[in-house]
Amino acid sequence: MTSQVAAVKNAFQQIVSRDFSVARSVLRVGAKGAFLVMLALMIVAYAVSVSQSAPPPPEPLPDFIYS
């Protein structure tokens, strides 16, 4: 009976350690993806704010200068 319990414990520990290694790689890939998404959102937000804060185009010169 104790050998069966030991075998079950051993199998469970192998499954858990394998799941943790898979979860670790999944978390690493997920963290990289989240970082890239946040970086892209920050770049887009910066571009939008810069384009909205651009000075207005200059007004055309009065007509009497051209004549």
With respect to residue 44, please indicate whether it lies within any of the assigned structural domains. yes
The pTM (predicted TM-score) of the whole model is: 0.50
With respect to residue 11, please indicate whether it lies within any of the assigned structural domains. yes
What is the chain's pLDDT, residue by residue, as a tens digit (67 residues)? 678 888 888 877 777 676 677 778 888 999 999 999 999 999 999 999 888 877 778 887 776 666 5
With respect to residue 64, please indicate whether it lies within any of the assigned structural domains. no
SS3 for the chain is CHHHHHHHHHHHHHHHHHHHHHHHHHHHHHHHHHHHHHHHHHHHHHHHHHHHCCCCCCCCCCHHHHC
With respect to residue 59, please indicate whether it lies within any of the assigned structural domains. no
Residue 14 is encoded by which pair of tokens?
């192998």
Residues in the chain: 67
Containing domain of residue 19, as a range?
Answer: 2-49
With respect to residue 31, please indicate whether it lies within any of the assigned structural domains. yes
Count structural domains, the chain: 1
